Chain A
Amino acid sequence: MTVYVFDGTMNGLLTAVFDAFALHEQPQQLLMKGDALPLFCDHTYQVTTDGEKARRVWVGLEKRLPREAMKLISVSWLSELRELNQPLFLYICKVFRHGNIARNFSDVDVLAVTNIARRVLHEQLRMKQFIRFQKAKDGTYLTVVSPDHNVLPLITDHFQDRFNDQPWLIYDARRHYGYYYDGGTVIRVTFEDEAAVPFDLSNGKMDAEVLSSDDALFQDLWRTYFKAICIKERMNPKKQLSDMPRRYWKYMTEKNE
């Protein structure tokens, strides 16, 4: 059994594809550094990430796949899931052998990559739905999120388009970075000292001294509205949970009192 080991980056994975074709072999498994090796493993190969090789593979893919399929691959990579590596690797190998198979959903690897990409897209929609801004004294709108997948790059366009006249900051507490929009461009930001930030990373609440004076009122208004709009005779907590899973509640104004 041939096993390739790569460093866990997209470039590493693309290099692995390059090497597999250069060496004329088809590895059965692609592992990340640190993964346990399988029991019967007669040949392991350490992939050395090479930007040039990766670029050539990517360009080759672009020739063989339509743009939407390329986008799906990029999106699936944002999932940061370990179980993506193997199917994505095999999927790309198959594209070079058989051409455009992006819509052959009876292929397990295509299906796996597509499903993971779909999960990421679903979560980016949920971010658009459930992000709740708080207004700071200086007029910046701020929110903290901790999505399962690294979806912030997918949603900045939406928020830039929608709130183009207000500065905002969306901060990912799990991945320790965020995007800040200053009224002109969106920039990626990190904090040197995360403990000193004026908001609570566990529930997204801004400290009282930086919170704008009327923000508490609008939060209360929203909570009041949220309670009033519910029809008691139709209570359906199951439906609510399936559409708005509990893991998002801690950052949501109406649910984190």
Chain B
Amino acid sequence: MLTEKTMEKLRILAESAKYDVSCSSSGTVRKGKTGMVGSTVGGVGICHSFADDGRCISLLKVMLTNYCMYDCAYCINRRTNDIRRATLSVSELEEITMEFYRRNYIEGLFLSSGVVRNPDYTMERLTAIARDLRLVHRFNGYIHLKSIPGCSQELLNEAGRYADRMSVNIEIPKEESLKLLAPEKDHQSVFQPMRLIQQGVLENKEDRKRYRHAPRFVPAGQSTQMIVGATKESDRDILQMSSMLYGQPTMRRVYYSGYISVNTYDPRLPILKQPPLVRENRLYQADWLLRFYHFNVEEIVDDQHANLDLEIDPKLAWALRHPEAFPIDINTADYEQLLRVPGLGTKSAWLIVNSRRFNRLTSYDLRKMGVVMKKAKYFITCNELTDGYAVPIVGINELHPERLRPLLVSKTQQKRVAEERQLKLEFEE
């Protein structure tokens, strides 16, 4: 039934879908069931492959169709773009998913679609596929569905029963910029489905308290993505938006996608020689600080520092702005304080907290455990450094932040940042 044509369609639709960076297959543990194929593992999920761009391939990320009635400037599938269009039939997509899954190529399906005819029509078809996979093909693996803005609540409720995760992309953190690039969209159309999904999840939670076997609703929560570098927003705007989203009970991940100039002819968009990868990386670091390191957004970016420092990571930047918080004594500081030390991650902090119950730790122990001392050594005191006659202490307060900073910025990093910032001019021969 599948033919050469299918291969071509898959190629076109994968290329259309790849700019959506969401990749996770995490957030829910579901054991295998007899008579069904598949399971989900929770934890960090399983990445089944890594493409040549280094990004993981966990789910079969594909669009049902890349025809679209909208004309959003940042999107490769906008209706005015002259690209090849294709539509996978429902049965083709289901067969590919099942066969890929049985060969352990993928963890599940991430299905999105261009909007054709109207939002309800499109969402109806996405839902039909999820329903078929679950009920006809007895598929028990991961399904991530994109919810189409503007579709009806009934459809969302049905889709949520079959999907593990649903997402709506904000794309642009400020409404006026969104209006500029995508005149047909507004923030309302994004937040409305988000609210509906959240409402569904919370209602389901209540139901499950009463009826243990009530079917779960979007058990892995929601995710969303924002494009970085296509509009004027500062990192502060972006991170405040993420922080607000993480405050909602069902938002699990916010993704940041460095803008890749796909539609170079559009005057509303900046011309970038390369995608802002360093900035994207810094945003993810800040995101991790928000989620796992007990930072709040005002500590990372504030009025004076509306953008993240590209040369150093956000935690180091915070530490250099706050020398009064250091040095931190490895042997007595609590877990939250340890997390504030540049170079110490959650894993190292966990190792330290456990080990110091047995004996006092020295910097030698830390090194052995795998703590990166290059940065950390300026911010901590260990057992031996507190001795009067040991090595003289050279920490952030002795060196001063402005003299410490150059020691911690590498040449290659500086070069990468300069390359990204610089506007290159190409001269024709």
Instruction: Say if the beta carbon of A108 comes within 8 Å of chain B.
Output: yes
Residues from chain B with Cβ under 8 Å of A133 in the complex: 102-104
B54 & A106 in contact (Cβ 8 Å cutoff): no
Instruction: Say if the beta carbon of B37 comes within 8 Å of chain A.
Output: yes
A244 & B365 in contact (Cβ 8 Å cutoff): no
Known interface pairs A218-B103, A234-B275; A125-B10 also in contact (CB < 8 Å): no
Instruction: Say if the beta carbon of A199 comes within 8 Å of chain B.
Output: no
A230 & B104 in contact (Cβ 8 Å cutoff): no
Partner-binding segment picked from A9-17, A33-41, A74-82, A219-227: A219-227
A234 & B46 in contact (Cβ 8 Å cutoff): no
Known interface pairs A226-B57, A229-B18, A230-B18; A164-B34 also in contact (CB < 8 Å): yes
Residue of A111, A131, A225, A239 touching B54 (CB-CB under 8 A):
A239
A217 & B2 in contact (Cβ 8 Å cutoff): yes
Q: Mark B317-328, 1 if CB is under 8 A from A, else 0.
A: 000000000000
B10 & A106 in contact (Cβ 8 Å cutoff): no
Residue of B2, B54, B369 touching A221 (CB-CB under 8 A):
B2
A209 to B319, CA, bound (A): 64
A230 to B55, CA, bound (A): 8
Residue of B12, B19, B32, B52 touching A164 (CB-CB under 8 A):
B32
B7 & A224 in contact (Cβ 8 Å cutoff): yes
Instruction: Say if the beta carbon of B274 comes within 8 Å of chain A.
Output: yes
Instruction: Say if the beta carbon of B304 comes within 8 Å of chain A.
Output: no
Known interface pairs A106-B368, A231-B55; A161-B104 also in contact (CB < 8 Å): no
Instruction: Say if the beta carbon of B51 comes within 8 Å of chain A.
Output: yes
B280, closest chain A residue (CB): A234
Q: Mark A219-250, 1 if CB is under 8 A from B, else 0.
A: 01110111111111111111110011000000
Q: Mark B41-79, 1 if CB is under 8 A from A, else 0.
A: 100001111111111110011100000000000000000
B362, closest chain A residue (CB): A106
A252, closest chain B residue (CB): B49
Q: Mark A94-134, 1 if CB is under 8 A from B, else 0.
A: 00000001011111100100000000000001001111111
**A197 → B minimal CB distance (Å):** 19
B11 & A225 in contact (Cβ 8 Å cutoff): yes
Residues from chain B with Cβ under 8 Å of A104 in the complex: 354-355, 357-359
A106 & B359 in contact (Cβ 8 Å cutoff): yes
**B74 → A minimal CB distance (Å):** 14
B60, closest chain A residue (CB): A225
A101 & B358 in contact (Cβ 8 Å cutoff): yes
Instruction: Say if the beta carbon of B96 comes within 8 Å of chain A.
Output: yes
Instruction: Say if the beta carbon of A162 comes within 8 Å of chain B.
Output: yes
A234 & B53 in contact (Cβ 8 Å cutoff): yes
Instruction: Say if the beta carbon of B192 comes within 8 Å of chain A.
Output: no
A163 & B37 in contact (Cβ 8 Å cutoff): yes
A141 & B103 in contact (Cβ 8 Å cutoff): yes
Known interface pairs A162-B37, A234-B53, A239-B54; A224-B355 also in contact (CB < 8 Å): no
A106, closest chain B residue (CB): B365
Instruction: Say if the beta carbon of B228 comes within 8 Å of chain A.
Output: no
Known interface pairs A237-B52, A240-B51; A105-B369 also in contact (CB < 8 Å): yes
A225 to B34, CA, bound (A): 30
Instruction: Say if the beta carbon of B388 comes within 8 Å of chain A.
Output: no
A229 & B102 in contact (Cβ 8 Å cutoff): no
Residue of B39, B54, B96, B103 touching A234 (CB-CB under 8 A):
B54
B43, closest chain A residue (CB): A125
Residues from chain A with Cβ under 8 Å of B36 in the complex: 165
**B362 → A minimal CB distance (Å):** 8
B274 & A132 in contact (Cβ 8 Å cutoff): no
B14 & A228 in contact (Cβ 8 Å cutoff): yes
Instruction: Say if the beta carbon of B290 comes within 8 Å of chain A.
Output: no
Residue of A165, A230, A244 touching B37 (CB-CB under 8 A):
A165
**B374 → A minimal CB distance (Å):** 19
Residues from chain B with Cβ under 8 Å of A125 in the complex: 46
Residues from chain B with Cβ under 8 Å of A162 in the complex: 32, 37-39, 141
B100 & A237 in contact (Cβ 8 Å cutoff): no
Known interface pairs A104-B355, A104-B358, A106-B361; A238-B54 also in contact (CB < 8 Å): yes
Instruction: Say if the beta carbon of A254 comes within 8 Å of chain B.
Output: yes
8 A Cβ contacts from B351-367 to A: 351, 354-359, 361, 365
Residue of A101, A141, A163, A218 touching B100 (CB-CB under 8 A):
A218
A105 & B359 in contact (Cβ 8 Å cutoff): no
A135 to B102, CA, bound (A): 9
A252 to B369, CA, bound (A): 34
**B26 → A minimal CB distance (Å):** 13
Instruction: Say if the beta carbon of B6 comes within 8 Å of chain A.
Output: yes
Instruction: Say if the beta carbon of A166 comes within 8 Å of chain B.
Output: yes
**B348 → A minimal CB distance (Å):** 10
Residue of A108, A221, A230 touching B368 (CB-CB under 8 A):
A108
B55 & A106 in contact (Cβ 8 Å cutoff): no
- The contact sample of 22 A-B pairs, CB cut-off 8 A, is A104-B354, A106-B358, A106-B365, A131-B104, A132-B104, A161-B31, A163-B102, A165-B35, A166-B102, A217-B2, A218-B99, A220-B7, A224-B7, A225-B11, A228-B12, A230-B55, A231-B19, A231-B53, A234-B55, A235-B52, A236-B54, A244-B49
Could you list 4 further interchain pairs (A-B, Cβ under 8 angstroms) beyond the known A131-B104, A224-B7, A229-B61?
A106-B369, A225-B62, A229-B51, A243-B54
**List of 9 A-B pairs having minimum Cβ-Cβ separation, nearest first:** A239-B54, A236-B54, A228-B14, A104-B358, A103-B354, A106-B365, A161-B32, A230-B51, A234-B53
